[in-house]
Amino acid sequence: MTRRFNFLPALLAIAFVACNEEFTPKGKFEPTLVVYGILGGDRDIQFVRVSSTYNTVGFDPKENSEDPQITDAVVTLSSAGSTIMLRDTLLLRRDSSRYKSLIHAYYVSGMRPTPNTRYQLSVNTATRGSATGSVLVPDHGIPTVTNPFIFTRPLNFPNTDIFIGLVLANDARGYVVRLFVDYEIIPGQFRRIEVPMRIDWTTGEPVPVYPSVRRGVTESSPSLSISHQITRDAYVYALYQAELGYSRTTLRFRQAVIVLYSIDKNLYSYYNIANGFQDPSSIRTDQPDFTNIRGGVGVFGAYSVDSVTVDLENRWIDIFSARAKME
């Protein structure tokens, strides 16, 4: 009993000291490299952005008005024994309400990532240390059109939607399918319009719904064949929007282009975690995160691009009989 009695005052003293310490949910701040780079298979110039984490007095990150980007980094991209050093460039900032400076980025031109190839990213700075990342560019996917006749004669198929067959590579963790229509308004002047995935008629007015990232293959299912649907109403809607203001003599549809974006596991995981709970039903107070950057945070991802075209016979597609439904 004596030992227990003597031990009790010590516990009370510790509790008293602890209760007088100010509680804060903010832990110890350590400046960390932030690296973002996405290798795109549809462009010949690749960008990497480098910045630093920052601390604020309060809890709102928007309180920070000092641009945290790092301009003295040495950034290299390596693959198959060759290494490329990225150059500096400045880009216009779309929104300058918070940061007034231009966007500082690192880039390499004349480089398109090769499918089924691994790339290593290395970032070295004088103030924030080093960080690295690795990505395997997804191999080629195969998109196919099951009913090409609906593209040139959509009014002849009032109850038929467009179906696109997809075969995804075994490293495509996510994918996006987009349909574009290329047309010529006068000889030599070309334009492109994107076809929605479907039309939402719940409000009485046509509201186009465009595709988003979908889940592709998984480790337990290394190969995947998918049938992707684009409604006939969505296709007619896009043609109608393209034809507004033009006549049969000035506008000609040239081709429909189905584009498949195969997304690697890093980019898909980052996108899915960052956007996976943005719905009215989920209740979360935490903000989940994903990174494949060693020595920092951010993401180094990639996507490959494959496409198939359908010839529209350089013709005017008369869909104005559907005017009443579109207005």
What burial class does residue 229 get, using C-beta atoms within 10 Å of its C-beta: 0-12 exposed, 13-18 middle, 19+ buried? middle
Give the number of other CB atoms < 10 A from CB of residue 5. Answer: 8
Which residues in 168-184 are b (16+ Cβ under 10 Å) and which e?
bbbbbbbbbbbbbbbbe
Looking at residue 324, its pLDDT comes to 41
Q: Which residue has the tokens 């990639």?
A: 302
pLDDT at 295 over 90: yes
Both 147 and 249 in a single domain? yes
Cα(69)–Cα(100) distance, integer angstroms = 12
Q: Please give the residue range of the domain that contains residue 116.
A: 33-137
Both 149 and 124 in a single domain? no
Residue 321 counted as domain residue:
yes
3-state DSSP assignment of residue 200: strand
- Tell me what the pLDDT averaged over the chain comes to: 87
Supply the pTM of this predicted model.
0.85
pLDDT in tens, 301-311: 999 999 999 99
Residue 157 counted as domain residue:
yes
Looking at residue 13, its pLDDT comes to 55
Q: How many helices (H) does the chain have, and how many strands (E)?
A: 5, 18
pLDDT in tens, 39-79: 999 999 999 999 999 888 877 878 888 889 999 999 999 99
Which residues have CB under 8 Å from 7's CB, separation 6+? none
Looking at residue 188, its pLDDT comes to 87
The last residue of a domain, from among 137, 153, 175: 137
**What residues does 225 pair with on adjacent strands?**
167
Return the CATH number at 253: 2.60.40
Residue 102 counted as domain residue:
yes
Pairing of β 207-209 and β 296-315: unpaired
Both 99 and 167 in a single domain? no
Looking at residue 40, its pLDDT comes to 98
Both 180 and 320 in a single domain? yes
Domain count, the chain: 2
pLDDT in tens, 179-214: 999 999 988 899 999 999 999 999 989 999 999 999
Assess contact for 298 and 215: CB atoms under 8 A.
no
Looking at residue 57, its pLDDT comes to 80
- Positive or negative torsion for Cα 42, 47, 53, 58: negative
Both 319 and 197 in a single domain? yes
